[in-house]
Every structure is written in structure tokens, then in C-alpha cells.
């Protein structure tokens, strides 16, 4: 950067008089003290905070169901004559589970009779949505999850079952089935 040449501070009396006539009387100002620099506030990570808030919103409204990502085969069934939106709503958890039964540690024979009795009682009580906790069959032998397959087969054969699907991950995921029952007439 090139420096400007300094002008001479010498002003002639004629120039001073001409300046005072044009401007009026002048007085010399004392140089002001420079303002003390205020401490700057700490930087706010606004974009990071906005991104984090968006992630939370996306997790709550995401179209992918975590149960689909979960290990294990997902159960899903909709009786003919019902709208596919009904099954989608069931998978999203739109229905309140009114009762549930845990079939863990049962043999296939015991589980079969317990499911029949449980669904009959649910029908008598006028329940519309129930949950069957069948487990994921992690301790099953090479044949796979016995109780889970039994529940799937039984529910497909019952006239009072409108739809069923694996539960959402917070309700047991692929280790439980949420079942919609036909309304009483």
C-alpha cells in the first residue's frame, strides 16, 4: 500500500483568516480516548442447534418404521375387504393396545389354547386392539421361532381378526404382534 505524502502543518495567516471568515471561529478539540472494546459474546452454534432439532422432528415423523430395520421377520396381515391404510395405521401404532398376553416359555400346545382363550375373552369384553407377545425365537432350534409361527398361522385363520402386524420397537418389535379384532355387531 502506497503512503500519501504528508501535507505541511504550516498554514499561513492569510489562509487561517480566510478559513475563519468562511467557517466562523474554531476551537481545537482534544483527542478523544478510544472506546474500550467490549468483550464479545460466546459464539452460538445456531445452525447446529437447528440441525439437531430437525433430526428429532424427522425421527418422530419418519416414514421408515424402526421395526422394519430390526432383526427378525416382521409379521403383517390384512384380511381381504379392508383398506390397506388400516394396516399402515396399525404398523404406525395408531391404535391403543387394550390388553396383552405373554406367551414366553410356553409350549406350542399351551400357547395355542391360551391364545384361543385370550381372544375369546377380548371379544367378550369388546376389545378392538390386543397384543400377543410371542418372542423372537432366539432360543429356538434350527426350525426357527415356533410360537411366532404358530401365532401367525392362528391369527390368519380366525374370522374375528381384521389385521395384525409386528409391534413397534418400543412395544416389543418383531417379538410381539398387535392385533385388530372385528367389532361386535
* Cα 120-98-82 angle, rounded to 5 deg: 75
Question: For residue 72, is pLDDT > 70?
Answer: no
In a domain, residue 45? The reply is no
Percent of the chain at pLDDT > 90 equals 46
Q: What is the pLDDT of residue 1?
A: 53
Contact status, residue 118 vs residue 159, Cβ threshold 8 Å: no
Confidence grade of residue 62 (pLDDT, cut at 50, 70, 90):
low
In a domain, residue 158? The reply is yes
* The pTM of the whole model exceeds 0.85: no
The count of structural domains within the chain is 1
Question: If residue 130 lies in a helix (H) or strand (E), which one and from where to where?
Answer: strand 129-133
In a domain, residue 117? The reply is yes
CA-to-CA dists, residue 113 to 118, 142, 175, angstroms: 9, 25, 19
Range of the domain at 128: 73-180
**Taking Cα atoms as reference points, which of 93, 69, 178 lies closest to residue 133?**
178
Q: Nine-digit cell at 163?
A: 389385521
Q: Which residues contact 125 (CB under 8 A, 6 or more apart)?
A: 99
- Asked which of 36-40, 77-81, 98-102 is least confident by mean pLDDT, the reply is 36-40
Q: Can you give the CATH number for the domain in which 137 is found?
A: 3.30.1370.110
Question: For residue 67, is pLDDT > 60?
Answer: no
In a domain, residue 87? The reply is yes
Tens-digit pLDDT profile for residues 126-172:
999 999 999 887 666 666 788 999 999 999 999 999 999 999 988 88
Amino acid at each position: 500500500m502506497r503512503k500519501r505524502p504528508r501535507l505541511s502543518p504550516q498554514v499561513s495567516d492569510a489562509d487561517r483568516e480566510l478559513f475563519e471568515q468562511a467557517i466562523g471561529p474554531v476551537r481545537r478539540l482534544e483527542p478523544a480516548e478510544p472506546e474500550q472494546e467490549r468483550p464479545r459474546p460466546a459464539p452460538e452454534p445456531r445452525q447446529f442447534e437447528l440441525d439437531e432439532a430437525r433430526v428429532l422432528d424427522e425421527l418422530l415423523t419418519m416414514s421408515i418404521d424402526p421395526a422394519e430395520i430390526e432383526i427378525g421377520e416382521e409379521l403383517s396381515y390384512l384380511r381381504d375387504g379392508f383398506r390397506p391404510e388400516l394396516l399402515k395405521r396399525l404398523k404406525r401404532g395408531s391404535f391403543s393396545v387394550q390388553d396383552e398376553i405373554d406367551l414366553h416359555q410356553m409350549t406350542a400346545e399351551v400357547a395355542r389354547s391360551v391364545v384361543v382363550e385370550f381372544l375369546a375373552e377380548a371379544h367378550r369384553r369388546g376389545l378392538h386392539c390386543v397384543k400377543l407377545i410371542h418372542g423372537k425365537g432366539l432360543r429356538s432350534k434350527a426350525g426357527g421361532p415356533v410360537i411366532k409361527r404358530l401365532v401367525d398361522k392362528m391369527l390368519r385363520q380366525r374370522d374375528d381378526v381384521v389385521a395384525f402386524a409386528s409391534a413397534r420397537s418400543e412395544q416389543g418389535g418383531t417379538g410381539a404382534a398387535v392385533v385388530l379384532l372385528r367389532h361386535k355387531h
